[in-house]
Structure 1
Amino acid sequence: MSRYLDIAPLRSLVAVADCGGFQRAATVLHLSQGAVSQHVRRLESTLGRTLVEREGRGSRFTADGEALLLHARRLLTVHDETLDAFGMTTARTLSIGSTEHAAAQLLPSLTSSLTGTFPQHRIRFRIDRGTQLRTALQDGRIDVALLLGPAEDAEARTVGELRLAWYSAPQWRPPATGEPVPLVAIDAPCALRTRALETLAAHGLAAEVGSEAAHLAGVQAAVRAGLGVGLMATQGQCPEGLTERDDLPRPRPIALSVQPRRGLRPDLLTGTATALHKILLAQ
């Protein structure tokens, strides 16, 4: 029987603990769930101890499993530092999810900043709705999500604010007094949709969502067609074919927060949050 502890099984064990389960660990490690389970069984066979036990639909670490985790983290740190010292580090991936709002203005600068901060990581982006990004975080398919609104999770951080502005087609004119303002918005739930309705209501203006779209491109297309006004976060860069409106109530900026997946290295979250904070201050 082998009495050696291989690196790959140790990395799987740590991922199960950090990600909260075998399936999520498999997603983060780009392995099958069966492969991760086999890694843990190999460790158990080598040590002659039970490390992880089933508990309902989930699993929990035994006392021996918790003890091995401490040693595994130290071994992996030394292993990775040794590879770094000899220039043999395998490129890692930092996967960032972002809502569409202001992505064109923030992501190019963020890519440049993170590439310099984490040269051993490839930066990959996923653009999606906030709801889908939260699900991707839970499943371990992305590492960090850029979300509209203040930080709500204990590990999330608010990094700044996005300026909001009303946009319409050049030929669009406000409705007659007493008529509702026609809005174009992303399907609910949407933070900007809510902010648009609240802003108009706070100034005694009736509003009606007359056109909806699943994505920002659809909102901009409907606004460009003159179907109504849309509230967007463009950081001062007017979308092509649209014009900014100054005859509607000025909306308050909206907070931007970053939320990590469970078990993400703290320095990766801090580096991402710091980079975004600096980018927002400079705009």
Structure 2
Amino acid sequence: MVTLDIAPLRSFVAVAAFSGVRQAGLALHLSRSAVTGHIRKLERELGCRLVEPQGRGIALTSDGEELAERAREILRQHDDAVRALATPEADDLLVAATEHAAEFLIPVVVGLIEHRFPHRRIQLRLTRSAKVRALVDDERADIALMLTGPTPRSVRVATIPSQWFGTPGTPPDHLVLFTEPCAVRLQALTTLGNRPYRIIKQCHDLTTLLSAARNGTGIVPLPRIGPAPDGLRPVPDMPALPDLTLHAATSPRVDPVTRTAIVDALRERLTEKTPALTTT
């Protein structure tokens, strides 16, 4: 019977979240070749292709989508068991964030922590904002980025505009959405009101969501964290989506000076990539 190792699964989930190998490697402190090796190892063991090229990034195959969903649950159960039963590593820091922050914001946070705490190991969890909020409420996340309401320890980082994206010719009533819970999905459906629509595909990860939109499956609502996704264009004549608020929360294990530096660095990055963002 095939046995899947945790390290390759962690690399695969990161690749799915970042839509590419290079950024996944940077986040996991692995070389590009190591991450690629993990993906190939999984493909050999399972006897199927998991990823395929798409533009300048990658897309998940149907088997890859299936594994990504299951791998997230495997990693969650594994990490929860380790935290509950194993002797904690005092120097570990858990960074939890919405997947929408993966490509443009997580490298900023990880880079800053590595600079300030070179001997600390960073654990990364990219998931939905609601689950990030749960990690904050349970006092398990040391640094958290989320598109949800504030927590007692959170700081408002910026107002994030949202927009509909798709490809030319895609029917505007065909939607591609994250599965629930999803703050962007909820706001998008509320905005549509009585306007007719069909949810053509529901996705568990950002790579699958963007791939479906690029393939013309449907249009997708996205927060504008950074420039427009590669291969997608704003969709005209759609109801305007409400803004979202990005909050950052830190645990008592993160000192106030570092917390301020993280928030300032995030604001600078957002302003650099998306000038329309406001931070007040």
- TM-score interval, smaller chain: 0.5 to 0.7
Q: Structure 2: which 5+ runs fail to align?
A: 1-79, 274-280
State the Cα deviation string for residues 207-258 of structure 1 (Å, max 9, x = none).
Answer: 3333211112222222223221101124352323322223323323210012
Q: Which amino acid aligns with 1:164?
A: S
Query: Given residue 280 of structure 1, which amino acid in structure 2 is its aligned partner?
Result: L
Equivalent pair of 2:129/2:148 in contact (CA under 8 Å): no
Contact 2:176–2:209 (CA under 8 A) maintained in structure 1: yes
Query: 2:130 touches 2:182 (CA, 8 Å); kept in 1?
Result: no
Letter matched to residue 143 of structure 1: D
Deviation, 1:30, is 5.9
Contact in 2 for aligned 1:170/1:241 (Cα 8 Å): no
Could you tell me how far apart the structure 1 residues matched to 2:108 and 2:248 are?
Answer: 16
Q: Deviations over 1:96-150 (max 9, x none)?
A: 1111113212122333344444455454422122343344445554312211034
Partner of 1:260: 250
Task: Note if 1:142 corresponds to 2:162.
Answer: no
Q: Distance in 2 between matches of 1:146 and 1:29?
A: 27
SS of the counterpart of 1:250? coil
The two structures have a TM-score, normalised by structure 2, of: 0.58
Hey, what does 1:200 align to over in structure 2? 192
| Counterpart residue type for residue 156 of structure 1 | S
The aligned runs of 1:2-151 (5 Å cut-off) are 27=83, 31=87, 92-119=91-118, 121-137=120-136, 141-151=140-150
How many residues align structurally?
193
Residues 100 and 225 in structure 2, CA contact (< 8 A), matched pair in contact too: no
User: Given the superposition, is the C-alpha separation of residues 188 and 106 from structure 1 closer, same or farther in structure 2, using an over 3 Å criterion?
Assistant: same
Distance 1:279 1:223 in 2: 26
CA RMSD of aligned residues (A): 3.2
Percent identity, aligned pairs only, is 28
Change (3 A) 1:171 1:190: same
Q: Which moved more, 1:224-233 or 1:242-251?
A: 242-251
Amino acid at match of 2:156: T
Inter-CA distance 236–137: structure 2 relative to 1 (3 Å threshold): closer
Q: Which residue in 1 is equivalent to 2:170?
A: 172
TM-fit CA distance, 1:200: 2.5
The answer on whether the counterparts of 2:133 and 2:148 sit within 8 Å (CA) in structure 1 is: no
Q: How far apart, in 2, do the equivalents of 1:240 and 1:271 lie?
A: 30
8 Å CA contact 2:96–2:145 kept in 1: the answer is yes
Q: Deviations over 1:74-104 (max 9, x none)?
A: xxxxxxxxxxxxxxxxx94432111111321
> Which amino acid in the other structure matches residue 198 of structure 1?
T
> Structure 1 residues 117 and 160 mapped into 2: Cα distance closer, same or farther (>3 Å)?
farther
Shift, 1:275, TM fit? 2.4
Change (3 A) 1:235 1:93: same
Max radius of gyration: which structure?
Answer: 1
Partner of 1:225: 215
Q: Is 1:117–1:271's contact at 8 Å kept on the other side of the alignment?
A: no
| Counterpart selection for 2:263 from 273, 276, 280 | 273
Does residue 182 in structure 1 map to residue 181 in structure 2?
no
Conserved 8 A contact 2:178-2:204: yes
Residues 184-208 of structure 1: CA distance to partner in whole angstroms, max 9, x if unpaired?
111112100012112222xx63333
State how far apart, in whole Å, the 1-side matches of 2:185 and 2:110 are: 28
**Which position in structure 1 is the counterpart of 2:153?**
155
Does residue 249 of structure 1 match 2:248? no
Could you give the per-residue CA deviations for residues 31-74 of structure 1, whole angstroms, max 9, x where no partner exists?
16xxx9xxxxxxxxxxxxxxxxxxxxxxxxxxxxxxxxxxxxxx
Structure 1 residues 272, 191: CA separation in 2 closer, same or farther (over 3 Å shift)? same
SS in 1 for 2:103: helix
Relative to 1, partners in 2 of residues 1:161 and 1:122: Cα closer, same or farther, differing over 3 Å? farther
Q: State TM-score, norm by structure 1.
A: 0.57
Name the aligned partner's letter for residue 200 of structure 1: L
